[in-house]
A and B are shown apart, each in its own frame.
Chain A
Amino acid sequence: MKPFAKRISRALLAAAAVLAVAGSAVAEPVTIRFGFAQVGVGNRQFGSGNTAAILHSRDILAEEFRNDPDVKLDWSFFKGAGPAVNEAIANGQLDFALQGDLPSLVGRSNGLKTRILAASGLRSNLYLAVTPKSGIQSIADLKGRKVAQFRGTNLQLATDKLLAAHGLTERDIKFINMDFATATAALATGDIDAAFGQADYLALDGQGVARVVYSTRGDDPAFTRHSHLLVTEAFEKAHPDVTYRVVKALVKAAAWASDEANREAVFEEWAKSGIPAETFRADFDGQALGYRNSPLIDDFLVAAYQDQAERAKGYRLVRGDVRIDGWFEPAYVDRAVAELGLAGTWKRYDANGHQQTAAK
């Protein structure tokens, strides 16, 4: 009971802070340093597949601070993905980040002081692309094969869970660490038999370079991955007002990206990263935008991270226990949803992934 009470009191405290500063203009000069654990094709400075990418590409955050000349925005996109973002946070080079579940858990387990403010992309799918000559048809066929994996990203944890469900471990497969661009090239040259990756593998399938033989679409949602917006504790403490307005802007972006009327527009927006809109169309096929783009921190998200933490420890991806308690700070996002009149836009899910009937 005690931690729960503590959580509530902290949430109230944060809410009070939010109320105190809401609406007031920013007084002192501040630069918001925003990092993405992703980069576009050919180093395009755009993200994709999440609401933070919309926040950036549609200038929603810039719009939020249009009348605050003292607030500057600085965007960084990391080819090294989540692990590189962790290094940047440790070096004090970032205030906000879009990051996936595993890298953030790794960062927290190593003592990075961050708060998770909102979800930015839920239930992202994992894809398995294989070379045509490999003859691999299913996860079970991967045993003993040469497979590319971007270690330390949230794909690794999802992959490990998927393998475990098929009675396999990382040791059964010859995993080779490659970033996404290298893996794509290696698939094309046939140097690897298969690669775990993201929706952009669908494009390879279209080109006949590789075949996507498995994706988590339609499979157990437990195999999917999540990403979120986080802030450093230091920044949140120094600028709760700015923090709130960043979250508010993200909620606006999420609302836009969850509106089915914008479905094609969202995919086109993400296509600025160089990944064709067609890929996202296929990836989101049969799923409501709001199911994936909800910013809410609900029981499902917290429970999912709790589960990820335990599994990550089991797979020796993190050392020791990662304390989830006190990491999530839903006050900002809840406040923004209420203030923007967006209550009811997104459904809340319980720890088991079932839709919650009772609100709150």
Chain B
Amino acid sequence: MTNLELSRAAHESALIAGNGRLDFPVETDPKPIGALLRPALRPALCVVEALAFPLALFGLWTLSSRLGWLPVQILPTPEQVAATLADLAGSGDLWFHTSISLLRVVQGFALGGTAGLLLGIAMGLSPRVRRTVEPLFTALAQVPPLGWIPVLMLLVGIDEGLKLLIIAKAALVPVALNTQKGIRNVPDSLREVGAVLAFGRWATLTRIVLPAAVPSVFTGVRYGLTSAWLALVAVELLASSEGLGYLMVWGRQLFQLDMVIAAMLVVGLVGFALDWTLSRVERRLQRWELAGS
């Protein structure tokens, strides 16, 4: 009985538009010709746009060091920083400190991200959990990582435990808040579909609520990673004998601002790389969203 419609399907499949969108012919607005050109040019344009600001900043830096706008002790020249980076890389110090910082972030983020996810799900699903936990959670979330250090120092000392907790807390807050938001913002229209299809609680959670919350959760995860990374540097600045944050302290205490800037560059690059990796994962998980655009 389905043979009747095969011709229609064949007809439609012949009309897959060049931009990847499958369209029923009578329902589309005609695409401007420019739209056909853009996919080819877009990556190049993106790179140019993304590099414009850093390049301008670098130019300003070079200019400043040439013209002596700032004392070279405060803002070292790009050459000095490059030499310091090469020096740090050559001696193995750079990798040593970077790997320690990365390990801390990964561990702290895994801890805080998982806790944040669970807490966010609980707050998103249960009004009771939300009522009991949210006020305190919101209040505590306002306290910046450094504010926690004295209290946590008393509880866990100043070793790795402190660093992990600070990083975990920094990651937990955005993950929990965004997860909660994502879950609470699942459209009623989709929940109703689940109800009509006789979904139970579990099916509703796994088939509707969680998938619908994924974009929001990912926003939280990316924020969480960023704030974990920031917290790491803050906590390493305070009490540490290794890591990129420590490298900055060391550089500053010994008045080697080139080392501070070198460490800043590495921190920025690693942070960017982490965020970029997450965005790739996000795109894979949400390929359905991009499929049409």
A–B contact with Cβ pairs below 8 Å: the answer is yes
Q: Identify the A interface with B (CB < 8 A).
A: 83, 86-87, 90-92, 103, 106-107, 110-112, 151-153, 174-178, 182, 185-186, 189-192, 317-319
A10 to B150, CA, bound (A): 53
A151 to B252, CA, bound (A): 9
Question: Are B73 and A90 in contact, with the CB atoms below 8 A?
Answer: yes
Between A and B, 16 residue pairs with Cβ closer than 8 Å are: A83-B252, A86-B73, A86-B255, A87-B252, A90-B71, A90-B74, A92-B71, A106-B254, A106-B255, A107-B73, A152-B255, A153-B253, A176-B239, A177-B253, A182-B239, A190-B157
Would you give the 0/1 interface string for B61-101, flagging 1 where the beta carbon is closer than 8 Å to chain A? 00000000001111000000000000000000000000000
Question: Are B154 and A189 in contact, with the CB atoms below 8 A?
Answer: yes
A185 to B71, CA, bound (A): 36
Q: Given A107-B255, A191-B153, output 9 extra A-B contacts at Cβ < 8 Å.
A: A83-B254, A91-B71, A107-B73, A111-B72, A152-B254, A153-B253, A177-B239, A177-B240, A317-B254
Question: Are A91 and B74 in contact, with the CB atoms below 8 A?
Answer: yes
Ranked 9 nearest A-B pairs via Cβ: A152-B253, A90-B73, A151-B253, A90-B71, A191-B158, A106-B255, A83-B253, A86-B255, A191-B157
Q: Is there a chain A Cβ closer than 8 Å to B209's Cβ?
A: no
- List residues of chain B with CB within 8 A of the CB of A107: 73, 255
A142 to B68, CA, bound (A): 45
Q: Is there a chain A Cβ closer than 8 Å to B256's Cβ?
A: yes
Number of interface residues of B (CB under 8 A): 21
Q: Is there a chain A Cβ closer than 8 Å to B249's Cβ?
A: yes
Q: Identify the B interface with A (CB < 8 A).
A: 71-74, 150, 153-154, 157-158, 238-241, 246, 249-250, 252-256
Question: Are B241 and A176 in contact, with the CB atoms below 8 A?
Answer: yes
Q: Which residue of B lies closest to A85 (CB)?
A: B255
Question: Are A103 and B255 in contact, with the CB atoms below 8 A?
Answer: yes
A28 to B167, CA, bound (A): 55
Contact flag A112-B73 (CB < 8 Å), given A189-B154, A318-B254 = yes
- List residues of chain A with CB within 8 A of the CB of B253: 83, 151-153, 177
Most buried by A among B74, B153, B241: B241
Question: Are A83 and B255 in contact, with the CB atoms below 8 A?
Answer: yes
- List residues of chain A with CB within 8 A of the CB of B73: 86-87, 90, 107, 110-112
Q: Which residue of B lies closest to A156 (CB)?
A: B253
A345 to chain B, nearest CB (A): 35
B76 to chain A, nearest CB (A): 9
Question: Are A151 and B254 in contact, with the CB atoms below 8 A?
Answer: yes
Question: Are B158 and A186 in contact, with the CB atoms below 8 A?
Answer: yes
- List residues of chain A with CB within 8 A of the CB of B153: 186, 189, 191
A91 to B238, CA, bound (A): 24
- List residues of chain B with CB within 8 A of the CB of A111: 72-73
B41 to chain A, nearest CB (A): 46
Contact flag A151-B154 (CB < 8 Å), given A86-B255, A110-B256 = no
Question: Are B255 and A177 in contact, with the CB atoms below 8 A?
Answer: no
A112 to B150, CA, bound (A): 36
- List residues of chain A with CB within 8 A of the CB of B150: 185
A175 to chain B, nearest CB (A): 5
- List residues of chain A with CB within 8 A of the CB of B241: 174-177
